[in-house]
């Protein structure tokens, strides 16, 4: 509970703000995939829900633990002006010190139940009586008898005063009631830790005022004042005994004209009391053995009250060790302990530390962090966009013109990049790229220039027509010698387009029977096919043959010239039908596309 400050700080609102910024970043700027963004968003929502539940539970625990104290303060201040809680110092008195513990054992009847908070009933009568709060001309005094709830009380008081926390913590010690060094050390450690935790809870070091009481059986005629020092800075323990001694000496000189003996005895006891406190109490309270100072001791004082000194107390043993005298004990009146009002006056009041400015500063810091993260993610994605487009352009440029299929594939990637860049140019750059100094605009003209400069390869001639008389003898299907010179042109065309299939079609004139002409035309097409396959090294399966006989004349068969024109072999390149099926195209006008 004490590890977190709850002094009016809007933790739940800040948690929601942080979660909102995180979700905005994931939705608009994240470079991760949709799956990762969804997982991270779910984790963010889960974490903020858990944090809000924990904060709500702690706030309720805090209010439940301190409601009775705040109610008592409101009741005590009901008849006073409303601004008194800001203008009057507020001091927490830790009354679980050895002074109270010893007094309780002596005064509480056996079997008396404990009051709320863990202190025995009636243990606070000497300072507070039955009340939780006392108001004097100097300060508002609030008791705390449970170290584990001191941080909660300090935090609640800060919220009750609208950001102005407790001005000091008073630590009363009855020197004549401490007879065990381990008990003293344990009590000092317990309250040292509690005060340090309370300081962390309110957000500043709480000033501590140590008030040490000595009991006397033969009090002087006047009330004993406080001898000590207080201020805004930490006290030097080694200088305190001399400072208190000088003020006691002045106190003794002033009382010479009245009755010097009681004042002299009081001064001697208080001088020894200051030396004992600086030797046995203050070093353990501020933990000088470890070299750390978690507490700010800004006030220290000693005073004498009427009571019953104990010869077994650590203080009495200290006096006996330095003087050789033993203290006598007699029955005296019940302790009447004054508040250390004089010492509190020297401690400056705490300034108002409102939570709203700090919360606004944290809100702005979270917004700045989210903006920096968004800009970093945008810059990262800008770099990825530029690298991808540049890589696609470079790949296209690196392909030689002869590799047309590869150039077409690379050009498709460049076109996709161009379309994306044009969409950003017309519709606006998305946030995931806009915060990182968008760098895609200079690449758009380059992509457009590459696309506009693309030149598709020249189409192959649709058909090469060969004269049958230059290849075959009349009525025969065997190639003549020297016919390879005629077929070279067709061979070059086929090699220039290795991805195309070849249709070899034979035609005849009308002389002879139709069936014989059909067989002759098919046999001549097969002879040409075999020669081209051998010469080009292309598998025969890339060729198709077709015999048309005299069914497709180019000219009239009534003349010799017409019949010569009809005797021919046509070589045509056609697309591979398997490629066409994969691309969604079908060849037109070439039924042989389906051949194997």
pLDDT at position 239 over 90: yes
d(Cα 332, Cα 513) in Å, to the nearest integer?
156
Taking alpha carbons only, the member of 30, 22, 129 closest to residue 72 is 129
pLDDT, one tens digit per residue, over 488-511 is 888 888 887 777 888 999 999 888
pLDDT at position 103 over 70: no
Selected residue with higher pLDDT from 586 and 328 = 328
pLDDT, one tens digit per residue, over 314-324 is 998 898 888 76
Whole-prediction pTM: 0.64
Most confident range (mean pLDDT) of 3-7, 250-254, 517-521 is 517-521
Share of the chain above pLDDT 70, in %: 84
User: What pLDDT sits at residue 590?
Assistant: 42
Selected residue with higher pLDDT from 221 and 484 = 484
User: What pLDDT sits at residue 294?
Assistant: 63
Q: Which helix (H) or strand (E) holds 383?
A: helix 355-398
User: What pLDDT sits at residue 222?
Assistant: 76
Positive or negative, the Cα torsion across 56, 62, 68, 74?
negative
Domain spans of the chain? 1-76, 80-348, 385-452, 463-594
pLDDT at position 21 over 90: yes
d(Cα 205, Cα 452) in Å, to the nearest integer?
74
Q: Which helix (H) or strand (E) holds 488?
A: helix 484-496
**Range from 100-109, 209-218, 269-278, 294-303 carrying the lowest mean pLDDT:** 100-109
Share of the chain above pLDDT 90, in %: 38
For the residues 410-434, what does the mean pLDDT come to? 93
pLDDT at position 255 over 70: no
Selected residue with higher pLDDT from 125 and 158 = 158
pLDDT, averaged across the chain: 82
User: What pLDDT sits at residue 99?
Assistant: 40
d(Cα 54, Cα 62) in Å, to the nearest integer?
12
Pairing of strands 207-216, 227-230: unpaired
User: What pLDDT sits at residue 122?
Assistant: 31
pLDDT at position 592 over 50: no
pLDDT at position 66 over 70: yes
**Range from 239-253, 254-268, 276-290, 346-360 carrying the lowest mean pLDDT:** 254-268
pLDDT at position 374 over 80: yes
User: What pLDDT sits at residue 362?
Assistant: 93
pLDDT at position 352 over 90: no
Residue 462 DSSP label: S
User: What pLDDT sits at residue 333?
Assistant: 44
Q: Which helix (H) or strand (E) holds 450?
A: helix 443-452
CATH topology of domain 463-594: 60s Ribosomal Protein L30; Chain: A; (3.30.1330)
d(Cα 191, Cα 154) in Å, to the nearest integer?
14
**Range from 102-111, 116-125, 202-211, 543-552 carrying the lowest mean pLDDT:** 116-125
Selected residue with higher pLDDT from 191 and 262 = 191
User: What pLDDT sits at residue 448?
Assistant: 93
d(Cα 110, Cα 287) in Å, to the nearest integer?
36
Selected residue with higher pLDDT from 407 and 499 = 407
pLDDT at position 33 over 90: yes
Question: Which of helix, strand or coil describes residue 165?
Answer: coil
User: What pLDDT sits at residue 140?
Assistant: 92
The set of residues, in sequence order, having a beta carbon less than 8 Å from that of 433 and lying 6+ positions away, is 378, 381, 382, 385, 424, 440
Residues in the chain: 596
Phi, psi of 401 (to 5 degrees): -60, -30
User: What pLDDT sits at residue 593?
Assistant: 45
pLDDT at position 344 over 90: yes
The two tokens of residue 142 are 């609030």
Taking alpha carbons only, the member of 241, 184, 175 closest to residue 214 is 175
User: What pLDDT sits at residue 471?
Assistant: 86
pLDDT at position 101 over 70: no
For the residues 82-101, what does the mean pLDDT come to? 72
pLDDT at position 259 over 90: no
Taking alpha carbons only, the member of 41, 160, 137 closest to residue 89 is 137
Contact (CB, 8 A) for 85 and 161: yes
For the residues 231-248, what does the mean pLDDT come to? 91
User: What pLDDT sits at residue 275?
Assistant: 94
Helical segments of 218-354, H only: 240-254, 260-276, 282-286, 314-323, 341-345
């Amino acid at each position: 509970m004490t590890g977190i400050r709850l002094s009016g700080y809007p933790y739940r609102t800040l948690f929601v703000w942080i979660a909102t910024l995180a979700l905005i970043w994931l939705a608009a700027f994240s470079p991760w995939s949709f799956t990762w963004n969804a997982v991270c968003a779910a984790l963010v929502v889960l974490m903020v829900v858990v944090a809000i539940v924990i904060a709500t539970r702690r706030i309720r625990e805090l209010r439940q633990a301190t409601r009775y104290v705040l109610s008592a303060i409101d009741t005590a201040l009901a008849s006073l002006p409303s601004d008194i809680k800001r203008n009057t110092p507020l001091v927490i008195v830790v009354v679980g010190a050895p002074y109270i513990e010893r007094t309780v054992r002596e005064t509480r009847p056996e079997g008396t139940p404990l009051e709320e908070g863990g202190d025995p009933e009636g243990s606070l009568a000497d300072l507070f009586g039955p009340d939780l709060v006392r108001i004097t001309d100097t300060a508002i005094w609030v008791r705390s008898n449970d170290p584990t709830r001191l941080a909660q009380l300090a935090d609640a008081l800060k919220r009750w005063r609208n950001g102005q926390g407790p001005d000091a913590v008073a630590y009363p010690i009855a020197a004549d009631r401490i007879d065990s060094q381990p008990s003293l050390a344990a009590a000092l450690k317990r309250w040292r830790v509690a005060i340090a935790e309370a300081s962390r809870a309110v957000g500043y070091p709480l000033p501590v005022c140590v008030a040490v009481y000595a009991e006397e059986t033969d009090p002087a005629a006047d009330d004993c004042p406080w001898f000590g020092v207080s201020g805004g800075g930490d006290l030097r323990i080694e200088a305190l005994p001399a400072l208190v001694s000088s003020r006691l000496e002045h106190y003794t000189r002033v009382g010479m004209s009245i009755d010097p003996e009681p004042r002299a005895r009081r001064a001697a006891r208080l001088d020894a009391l200051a030396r004992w406190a600086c030797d046995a109490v203050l070093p353990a309270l501020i933990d000088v053995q470890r070299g750390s100072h978690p507490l700010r001791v800004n006030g220290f004082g000693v005073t004498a009250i009427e009571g019953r000194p104990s010869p077994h107390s650590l203080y009495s043993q200290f006096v006996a060790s330095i003087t050789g005298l033993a203290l006598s004990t007699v029955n005296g009146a019940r302790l009447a302990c004054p508040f250390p009002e004089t010492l509190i006056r020297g401690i400056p009041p705490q300034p108002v530390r409102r939570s709203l400015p700090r919360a606004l500063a944290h809100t702005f810091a979270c917004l700045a962090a989210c903006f920096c993260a968004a800009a970093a993610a945008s810059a990262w994605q800008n770099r990825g966009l530029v690298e991808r487009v540049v890589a696609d352009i470079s790949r296209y440029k690196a392909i030689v013109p002869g590799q047309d299929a590869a150039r077409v594939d690379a050009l498709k990637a460049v076109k996709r990049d161009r379309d994306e860049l044009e969409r950003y140019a017309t519709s606006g750059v998305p946030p995931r790229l806009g915060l990182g100094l968008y760098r895609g605009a200079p690449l758009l003209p380059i992509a457009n220039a590459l696309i506009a400069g693309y030149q598709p390869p020249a189409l192959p001639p649709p058909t090469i027509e060969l004269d049958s008389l230059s290849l075959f003898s009349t009525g025969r299907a065997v190639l003549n010698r020297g016919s390879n010179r005629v077929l070279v042109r067709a061979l070059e065309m086929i090699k220039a387009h290795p991805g195309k299939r070849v249709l070899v079609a034979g035609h005849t004139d009308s002389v002879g029977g139709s069936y014989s002409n059909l067989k002759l035309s098919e046999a001549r097409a097969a002879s040409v096919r075999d020669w081209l396959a051998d010469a080009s090294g292309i598998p025969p399966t890339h060729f198709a043959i077709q015999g048309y006989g005299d069914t497709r004349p180019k000219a009239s068969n009534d003349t010799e010239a017409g019949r010569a024109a009809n005797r021919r072999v046509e070589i045509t390149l056609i697309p591979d039908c398997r490629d066409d099926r994969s691309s969604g195209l079908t060849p037109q006008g070439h039924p042989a596309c389906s051949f194997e």
